[in-house]
Structure 1
Amino acid sequence: MIKIPFNKPYLHGRELVYIAQAVASGKISGDGIFTKKCHAFFEGRYGFSKALMTTSCTDALEMSALLLNIREGDEVIVPSFTFVSSANAFALRGAKLVFTDSEANNPNIDAEQLEALITPRTRAIVVVHYAGVACDMDRINAIADRYGVIVIEDAAQAIDSFYKGRPLGSIGAMSAFSFHETKNVISGEGGLLAINQPQYANRAEIIREKGTNRSSFFRGEVDKYGWVDIGSSFLPSDIVSAYLFAQLETLDEIQARRKAIWQRYWDRLAPVLPEFDVHLPFLPEFATNNAHMFYLVCRDLAQRTKLIAALKAQGIHAVFHYLSLHDSPYFQRKHDGRPLPNSDRFSNCLVRLPMFYELGDSDVDYVCNSILSHLSAS
């Protein structure tokens, strides 16, 4: 029986009030009052040139591929240790995926490998800020600028995290966020496309509105709207945005609690785990920690498997994470054969501990005690 789940969606209280207000407004389709409030929040707090709510982070990434006119023959560089959406958005447009390895000390993309992977066909580099910890964006952008390549931030896990004082999601040409129920702030499902280069903003609205200039029509900029480009229906219901906006109003409170939980894990485990050859998250000096995730990196697959089983026996749901995409059933025959050992190591060795707003201090202590008890007895 699970005593401590891996995740528990957080309900602050205003979510249901705002959902009722959205229903009472008579408009619960896309771009209602709460969707506009969410847009204003992100543009105001993080300085995005244009923020557009989407039905998922996956859809935001797919919009970015459409905005860049990715097509067959183009190449897109993607980390192997990531969720499939980071790659699928570009595979859907016919791009050749070029997978790159993680860094040795954290799962983020290894910037040292990028330049050797760029060819005349490279159109974009997708960076994933794993666990909300920033990739080395100055270094990555310098390489991209040298070759005329666009940088897209997969910031699914990175809300309210920063790189050298700059909000993650504001540094690449565009970025994608997730509000899935496992994220810091949630709407069940939901995402956001942030546009940081204004030349993409108008077309992003069109793509999001099924290829029509409907948004311009509702602002009174045109007297009728029609089909002007390719696109799809990427708008979430205003009910989704109503739930999210209540979460955004309490973002600082949520972040403070998550950071306290993260720090308690660190304080309990950091002094002891190295003797068992188990490593804790690495935070570069240029990055902040948004406490999206607390993970351990075990010595090997066998040690991780036993740890997860031992925690399960104590009623604790700890989980592994991504399987290397370059070695996936879909892609392994398409991969160019380069070994990506760090990605494989994180696939085999990384384990995520329970992390959610309502996780109590006693719960954290119980998880830590269970980990240390198991490792000591192994």
Structure 2
Amino acid sequence: MTGNELKYIQQAVTLGKISGNGEFTSRCQTFFENRYSFHKCLLTTSCTDALEMSAILLNIQPGDEVIMPSFTFVSTANAFVLRGAKIKFVDSKAEHPNMDEMQIEALITPKTKAIVVVHYAGKPCEMDTIMDIAERHGLFVVEDAAQAIDSYYHGKPLGSIGHLAAFSFHETKNIQCGEGGMLVINDPQFAKRAEIIWEKGTDRAAFFRGEVNKYGWVDMGSSFLPSELQAAFLWAQLENLQDIQAKRQAIWQDYQGFFSEDAQQPTILSDKYLKKFTKGIEEAQLTEKYKVCTEDSSPNAHLFYLIFEQLSQRTAFINQMKEQNTLCVFHYQSLHQSDFIKAYQGENQTTLPNADRYSDCLVRLPLFYELG
């Protein structure tokens, strides 16, 4: 909470319109378009909704194939499965949970329609390589930027590079409104239809702008708009984005300084640090970390994680931290190993060892604005 959330919710109520696409929705969308040079933004009730809108916009049909990482949240895949797509999973990199862009091209077939990238922890995927692959094969790129607000790739804001992008404002994100999301349209060919899909398949938004004399059902769509109460809450967060990010960066840097005697080198966690932090779990290893605000990549301090050598070590760490009233949690389970995808697509013979390793060995530490 940054201070004005309840004030702006009261203002939204006083204005007399708390359904979607009102004053605060407009403020939020304009903020993102101006700050990050997104072509068009549409607030949604969740990042999941934004991804589902992407699948509709790309006209995903049964039998189409969509390439994406296995180490991601189920919404990334569900949005396209709902349209009947077959999912082709890519392994993570050995050094980071992001998808290994060098594995993408081998998965492309005549049925491939799109590549969905996930910027894990706000760290950019290799977008130059991915966009080049997409252009050569005539594919669309969707950025799942749920964790990537205010993060950059070679100076370009994440979410501004692919044809479409989806952001999350869930309460676990850097800025939030409880539940919320946003679709970003960077390819102008999708802008008009996106607004129609957003408004339940009608040209209602054009009607209220005076562009048509009545509105009707002109395309498929659904109820993707958040209420003005959510948008008002989000606006209070956006007003304080710089302060929120500065605080999160400071916490992130505190963690990095704590876990590394030499900030330039990944280190084996020494007994000194383990005893200080966990009462002495041995042989835990921090095998990957990324720099903050380096020349080529500006992670946004969304989360800080450790990678242990074995599942048993991670479990022991989580349990001992819980005894000290500190909640540390693991993250995604590899989607290619899920019961659903095996039932939906059949047993997958592909091995994705890095995705499985992150599922078993990665743990997230507490990181939120009020953290002391």
* TM-score of the pair, normalised by structure 1: 0.91
CA contact (8 A) 2:91 2:99 kept: yes
Matches within 5 A, 1:70-149: 70-149=60-139
Q: Which residue of 1 aligns with 2:306?
A: 296
Q: Report the Cα distance in structure 1 between the residues aligned to 2:238 and 2:363, rounded to whole angstroms.
A: 28
Q: Report the Cα distance in structure 1 between the residues aligned to 2:296 and 2:91, rounded to whole angstroms.
A: 20
Q: Deviations over 1:289-323 (max 9, x none)?
A: 10000000111101101110111111110000000
- CA-atom RMSD, angstroms? 1.1
Deviation (angstroms), 1:279: 2.5
Deviation (angstroms), 1:166: 0.2
Q: Report the Cα distance in structure 2 between the residues aligned to 1:95 and 1:350, rounded to whole angstroms.
A: 29
CA contact (8 A) 2:71 2:335 kept: yes
* Gapped regions of structure 1 (runs ≥ 5): 1-10, 361-378
Q: Which residue, 295, 315, 318 being the options, matches 1:305?
A: 315
CA contact (8 A) 1:105 1:282 kept: no
Q: Deviations over 1:104-160 (max 9, x none)?
A: 000001000000000011000000000011000001100111100100000000000
Identical residues among aligned pairs (%): 61
Q: Which residue of 1 aligns with 2:297?
A: 287
Deviation (angstroms), 1:336: 3.4
Q: Which residue of 2 aligns with 1:243?
A: 233
Q: Report the Cα distance in structure 2 between the residues aligned to 1:129 and 1:75, rounded to whole angstroms.
A: 21
Aligned length: 350
Matches within 5 A, 1:137-286: 137-271=127-261, 273-275=268-270, 276=283, 277-283=285-291, 286=296
Q: Deviations over 1:233-264 (max 9, x none)?
A: 00000010000000000000000000000000
Q: Structure 1 residue 349 and structure 2 residue 349: aligned?
A: no
Q: Which residue, 322, 340, 355 being the options, matches 1:330?
A: 340
Deviation (angstroms), 1:274: 4.5
Q: Classify the secondary structure of the residue corresponding to 1:175.
A: strand
Q: Report the Cα distance in structure 1 between the residues aligned to 2:47 and 2:18, rounded to whole angstroms.
A: 20
Name the aligned partner's letter for residue 203 of structure 1: R
Name the aligned partner's letter for residue 17 of structure 2: K
Q: Which residue of 2 aligns with 1:32?
A: 22
Deviation (angstroms), 1:19: 0.4
Deviation (angstroms), 1:170: 0.3
* Gapped regions of structure 2 (runs ≥ 5): 262-266, 271-282
Q: Report the Cα distance in structure 2 between the residues aligned to 1:101 and 1:77, rounded to whole angstroms.
A: 11
Q: Report the Cα distance in structure 1 between the residues aligned to 2:3 and 2:135, rounded to whole angstroms.
A: 45
Q: Deviations over 1:78-115 (max 9, x none)?
A: 10000000000000000001111000000001000000
Deviation (angstroms), 1:36: 0.2
CA contact (8 A) 1:50 1:196 kept: yes
Name the aligned partner's letter for residue 300 of structure 1: Q
Q: Classify the secondary structure of the residue corresponding to 1:153.
A: strand
CA contact (8 A) 2:96 2:288 kept: no
* TM-score of the pair, normalised by structure 2: 0.92
CA contact (8 A) 1:52 1:193 kept: yes
CA contact (8 A) 1:109 1:127 kept: yes
Q: Report the Cα distance in structure 2 between the residues aligned to 1:345 and 1:169, rounded to whole angstroms.
A: 27
Q: Aligned pair in 2 of structure 1 residues 267, 320: CA closer, same or farther (>3 Å)?
A: same
Q: Which has the higher contact order (CA 8 A, sep 6+)?
A: 1
Name the aligned partner's letter for residue 189 of structure 1: E
Deviation (angstroms), 1:270: 1.9
Q: Report the Cα distance in structure 1 between the residues aligned to 2:20 and 2:50, rounded to whole angstroms.
A: 15
Q: Which residue of 2 aligns with 1:365?
A: none
Deviation (angstroms), 1:280: 4.1
Q: Classify the secondary structure of the residue corresponding to 1:268.
A: helix
